[in-house]
Chain A
Amino acid sequence: EVQLVESGGGLVQSGGSLRLSCAASGFTFSAYSINWVRQAPGKGLEWVSYITSRSSTIYYADSVEGRFTISRDNTKNSVYLQMNSLRAEDTAVYYCARVRGSSLSFYYMDVWGRGTTVTVSS
């Protein structure tokens, strides 16, 4: 079964750090790009960051640029999101998702994890 499982969420104080993990199974992980998407309580979806299969290309949303770092370890079938200088507005459910499309123009997400919750207290 193709699956993504997030972990690492929790309660952290404003200014603190957390590292989220996304573990993949059921597909050739090293062949796919992965991204993170978050959803604040009662709000819509917000794209956070993207990493290509070999980590050659990375993008971030302006809201997290300079504070969050995405990385991956293809030997462990995992993607990570290091979140520093956390703010109350970073409180959300964080989803990782597999990205498809032959180029960015065709970008879509076909497999999603169940999410991990990050709460930043002020």
Chain B
Amino acid sequence: QSVLTQPPSVSAAPGQEVTISCSGSSSNIGNNYVSWYQQLPGTAPKLLIYENNNRPSGIPDRLSGSKSGTSATLGITGLQTGDEADYYCGTWDSSLSAYVFGTGTKVTVL
């Protein structure tokens, strides 16, 4: 049972924007940095965002991350069919002494 809560699914038409929320607490998001991962069907997860809002090389600026208090958000603009995947937030939890992932969000392009 994850300590980070995400909506099970979000959807939008091609070219539109989606946002995915990740809600936690002071022991995780509130005092640590958040990263985001994309998992395409049948593949390993891939890092999209680290340290709340930084993109690794090769990740387009259509993707963005932000954090406020004990919540974080991943935004995807200019939605493409290739964005259909599961998305997970993650961060260190200082109380659990463990890394925690969000419950995961499935993005569907209508």
A residues with CB within 8 A of B: 35, 37, 44-47, 50, 59-62, 95, 97, 100-101, 104-110, 112-115
Q: How many residues of B contact A (CB 8 A)?
A: 30
B47–A50 CB distance below 8 A: no
The one of A95, A105, A107, A115 in contact with B31, judged by C-beta atoms closer than 8 angstroms, is A105
Interface centre among A47, A95, A97, A107 (most CB of B within 10 A): A107
Please name the residue on chain A nearest to B46 by beta carbon: A112
B71-101 at interface with A (beta carbon < 8 Å): 86, 88, 90-92, 94, 96-101
A46–B101 CB distance below 8 A: yes
A107 to B103, CA, bound (A): 18
A54 to B2, CA, bound (A): 29
Q: Which residues of B contact A110 (CB under 8 A)?
A: 47, 50, 56
Q: How far is the CB of A39 from chain B (nearest CB, A)?
A: 8
A44–B99 CB distance below 8 A: no
Q: How far is the CB of A116 from chain B (nearest CB, A)?
A: 11
